[in-house]
C-alpha cells in the first residue's frame, strides 16, 4: 500500500465502526500503519468488547496493510497513554492521531439527566483531550531532542457543535468544546511541529441512522452514496499527512462530495461610545447591531 501516508503511523479512536472504521481503512490504503482503537461499546456507551477493533485490524492486514488493535478506554489516563505507547512499541513512531470516539445519549434539556451529560462530555471531550495530551507529550519530547516531527491531529466535531441540535444539548456542547480545544492545541503545539485541525462530518453511522433515517437511506446500485462515511475519509487522510503542511487550527465540514472551510466566530458589527452604556442605550445599540449582522445558522431540528 502506497500513498500520502506511506511510512507513517496513525492512531484512530472509535475505529471499530462507522466513520472511524472508514478512516482507519483509508489511512491504511494510503500507506499508514494503523493503531485501531475501539472500546466496543453500544450506541449509548454501555458495554465493552475488543471485537470491533480487532476485526478492523484484521481487515487491514487482509488487504496487505499493517495494523494493531487497541481496546482501551481513551477517556482514561491509562487508556490514552497505552494507545500512544502501543503505537511506539509496535511501529516505533506515531505521526497522526485521529480522535473520533463518541456516543449519544439524546434527551431534551428538561429530561436530560446529569449522568447522561457527564457520560457524553467524558467520551467526547476527555476522550479527545487525553490522547492529544499523550501524543503531544511524545512529539514535544521528539522536538526537544532535535527530531522535530511532522505530526498531525484530526479532531471530530459536528454540525451540532457548530450550530446546535435540538435534543442534543450534551452532544452539541461537547462537540463545540472540541472546536475550542482544537484552536488552543493548534496555537500551543505548532512550535513543536504539530498541526491540529477538526472536521465536522455528516454521514450514515450508528449515531445518525435513527435521527436522519429518511435523508440517509442508501441510494440505488450505481448511484453516489452521499451519506457513506467513506466520503469523509479522504480529507482525514490528507489532514493526517505531510501534504497538509501549514494547515492548522481550521475546522472543515465534510459531507458527500462537499468540503467547507468553516469561518467560525469573528467580530461583526460593533459600536463603541467610549463610556459606560445605560441599559436602555445598550439595548438600543444592540438592536441596531443585530439589524446589521448576518443571521445565525439555524439550530438543527428547530421549527
Q: Are 82 and 74 in contact (CB under 8 A)?
A: no
Cβ neighbours of 109 (radius 10 Å): 11
Q: Are 181 and 159 in contact (CB under 8 A)?
A: no
Instruction: Cell numbers for 260, please give them.
Output: 467547507
How far apart (Å, rounded) are the C-alpha atoms in residues 84 and 52?
Answer: 19
Apex 263 CA angle, 161 and 132, nearest 5: 55
Bridge-based pairing of strands 151-156 and 9-12 is: unpaired
How far apart (Å, rounded) are the C-alpha atoms in residues 185 and 167?
Answer: 29
3-state secondary structure of 281: helix
Q: Which of 126, 134, 157, 158 is catalytic?
A: 158
CA atoms within 13 A of residue 34's CA, in its CB half-sphere: 39
Is 175 a known active-site residue? yes
Identify the burial level of 273 via C-beta atoms within 10 angstroms of its C-beta, where 0-12 means exposed, 13-18 middle and 19 or more buried: exposed
Instruction: Cell numbers for 32, please give them.
Output: 499508514
How far apart (Å, rounded) are the C-alpha atoms in residues 157 and 208?
Answer: 14
Q: Which of 165, 175, 244, 300 is catalytic?
A: 175
Is 192 a known active-site residue? no
Is 158 a known active-site residue? yes
Q: Which of 126, 157, 171, 241 is catalytic?
A: 171
Show which residues are catalytic: 158, 171, 175
Amino acid at each position: 500500500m502506497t500513498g500520502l501516508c506511506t511510512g507513517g503511523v496513525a492512531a484512530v479512536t472509535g475505529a471499530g465502526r462507522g466513520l472511524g472504521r472508514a478512516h482507519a481503512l483509508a489511512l491504511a490504503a494510503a500507506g499508514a500503519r494503523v493503531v485501531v482503537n475501539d472500546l466496543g461499546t453500544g450506541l449509548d456507551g454501555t458495554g465493552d468488547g475488543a471485537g470491533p477493533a480487532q476485526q478492523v485490524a484484521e481487515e487491514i492486514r487482509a488487504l496487505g496493510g499493517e495494523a494493531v488493535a487497541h481496546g482501551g478506554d481513551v477517556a482514561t489516563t491509562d487508556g490514552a497513554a497505552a494507545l500512544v505507547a502501543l503505537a511506539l512499541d509496535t511501529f516505533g513512531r506515531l505521526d497522526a492521531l485521529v480522535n473520533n470516539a463518541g456516543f449519544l445519549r439524546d434527551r431534551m434539556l428538561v429530561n436530560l439527566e446529569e449522568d447522561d451529560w457527564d457520560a457524553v462530555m467524558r467520551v467526547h471531550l476527555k476522550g479527545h483531550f487525553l490522547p492529544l495530551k499523550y501524543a503531544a507529550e511524545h512529539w514535544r519530547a521528539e522536538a526537544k531532542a532535535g527530531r522535530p516531527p511532522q505530526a498531525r491531529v484530526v479532531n471530530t466535531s459536528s454540525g451540532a457543535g457548530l450550530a446546535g441540535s435540538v435534543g442534543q444539548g450534551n452532544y452539541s456542547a461537547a462537540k463545540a468544546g472540541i472546536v475550542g480545544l482544537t484552536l488552543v492545541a493548534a496555537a500551543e503545539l505548532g512550535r513543536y511541529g504539530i498541526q491540529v485541525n477538526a472536521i465536522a462530518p455528516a454521514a450514515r453511522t450508528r449515531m445518525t441512522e435513527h435521527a436522519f433515517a429518511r435523508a440517509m437511506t442508501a441510494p440505488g446500485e450505481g448511484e453516489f452514496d452521499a451519506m457513506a462515511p467513506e466520503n469523509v475519509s479522504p480529507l482525514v487522510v490528507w489532514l493526517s499527512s505531510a501534504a497538509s503542511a501549514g494547515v492548522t487550527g481550521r475546522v472543515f465540514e465534510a459531507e458527500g462530495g462537499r468540503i467547507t472551510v468553516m469561518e467560525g466566530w469573528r467580530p461583526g458589527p460593533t459600536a463603541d461610545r467610549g463610556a459606560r452604556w445605560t441599559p436602555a442605550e445598550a439595548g438600543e445599540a444592540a438592536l441596531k447591531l443585530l439589524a446589521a449582522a448576518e443571521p445565525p445558522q439555524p439550530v438543527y431540528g428547530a421549527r
